[in-house]
Structure 1
């Protein structure tokens, strides 16, 4: 096994690569002690983090199995999902926006992408880069951006959701990592915000997180077309840590009286409690 570099200065702080003792060829990327990505070089289709696996289900159901997609990834980390799409949907064209250029350099040097992966990485702010993309140019937009352990405020608003909707083709899908804990005020606001730009929205969440028992990652899914709710439910139920699909009336009740978040009122996602990322 290759010896990883030691703690490496990156724009977001200090990055470290740790070998996964349970999987040969697998690595964990941490930035300032916060787990950012897990990559299995021997099996890029393996998704270790539960919320990333749920995002993988959305990508699996975005088109017929194996069909190539145009995917925009806002937030790159160790490029886990671009590797997954390149492996499960050969020929897909993928654009990654990752503001931390030194981090991308570390990942490219030590965790190379699969051969023939059509992945282009751009060092830029996610929202600024999205604003330069052509209308109706993507099948899927994935948002998984963190500054430290929090999603930046300008990526949580109705104006941002409208930009995501603009870049998507008709029938395209937006999928976003929403990190929150009790009382889930941020997540409720994110659902209300997505509903300003998309006709159909659902949440994928582990029941304990959904009931406000613990801090965790909820996955928001949105589209102007009907979502494959039954297939998503079956996929999420088969996971090692099963999750629920919340939609329709259940999502109405979850959202309650939460209001959409405009730019003028934007706040970053909540700070995770101490110890939440201890492995």
Structure 2
């Protein structure tokens, strides 16, 4: 006699699309019409995260994949601890936690946005509501292995998160094998990137950059006291290779 196992009814999807008030304005969650179960989180009308709840292995944005490649190339002992300054939808922290079974702390200034992301996406990471610079300065020496900075006010990173003083606080918080990596919004000629690399080179022994050189866009910079993947071509179409720049010795 053939037995048929009863199928459990699927849990109805929670409808999360819509606009929501947050502490700094308005967040909007838009369903991706081309991918079932995927959403774009916009913060004050700026696309901020692409999230597929329950599928943390998905990274839609190129710059996030570049950051993940830097982390992979660092070959940190697992499990490691990563701090993500600028949480938004927690797409990258969720990916890092999934891929490396690491501890990830997402730091978000906007309390309302943090609450919305917890309720709508239920990310598998810790979310701390705090100002990024203050959080970094408060970290214990050598207590984390990766610091990712992805904080924006409009198209630019807030000035206090681009100073040599901030970079020194980040280096102090990192373990000896640690990695600092940041997303920079820059324009032709990369003036902001060049300024930040100059500051980082005063603090870290090695710096690197990955970018697509077409007008305004995302640039990813990295710094560490260990050599970075010099001259290694990332497997991303159109991206420049990593250029490892050792700190000059006096």
Smaller-chain TM-score range?
0.7 to 0.9
Q: Report the counterpart of residue 33 of structure 1 in structure 2.
A: 45
Q: Distance in 2 between matches of 1:123 and 1:43?
A: 24
1:245 aligns with 2:237: no
Q: Report the counterpart of residue 202 of structure 2 in structure 1.
A: 196
| TM-score when normalising by structure 2 | 0.88
Shift of 1:19: 1.1
Which structure has the higher relative contact order (CA within 8 Å, separation 6+)?
Answer: 1
SS at match of 1:229: coil
Contact 1:98 1:121 in 2 (8 A): yes
Q: Distance in 2 between matches of 1:184 and 1:64?
A: 29
Structure 1 residues 246 and 85: CA distance shift in structure 2, 3 A: closer
Contact 1:73 1:96 in 2 (8 A): yes
How do residues 107-146 of structure 1 correspond to structure 2 at under 5 angstroms?
A: 107-113=117-123, 117=124, 119-146=125-152
* Aligned residue pairs, count: 235
Contact 1:34 1:149 in 2 (8 A): no
Structure 1 residues 248 and 221: CA distance shift in structure 2, 3 A: closer
Q: Report the counterpart of residue 220 of structure 1 in structure 2.
A: 221
Shift of 1:62: 2.8
Shift of 1:5: 4.3
* Match of residue 71, structure 1, among 82, 87, 97: 82
Structure 1 residues 165 and 32: CA distance shift in structure 2, 3 A: same
Gaps (5+ residues) in structure 1? 253-279
Shift of 1:12: 2.5
Q: Distance in 1 between matches of 2:103 and 2:98?
A: 12
Max Rg structure: 2
Gaps (5+ residues) in structure 2? 1-12
Q: Distance in 2 between matches of 1:178 and 1:25?
A: 29
Runs of 4+ with >6 A deviation? none
* Match of residue 88, structure 1, among 96, 99, 104: 99
Q: Report the counterpart of residue 258 of structure 1 in structure 2.
A: none
Q: Distance in 2 between matches of 1:153 and 1:168?
A: 21
Q: Report the counterpart of residue 8 of structure 2 in structure 1.
A: none
Shift of 1:193: 0.9
| TM-score when normalising by structure 1 | 0.79
More deviation in 197-206 or 92-101?
92-101
Shift of 1:60: 2.1
Q: Distance in 1 between matches of 2:19 and 2:70?
A: 34
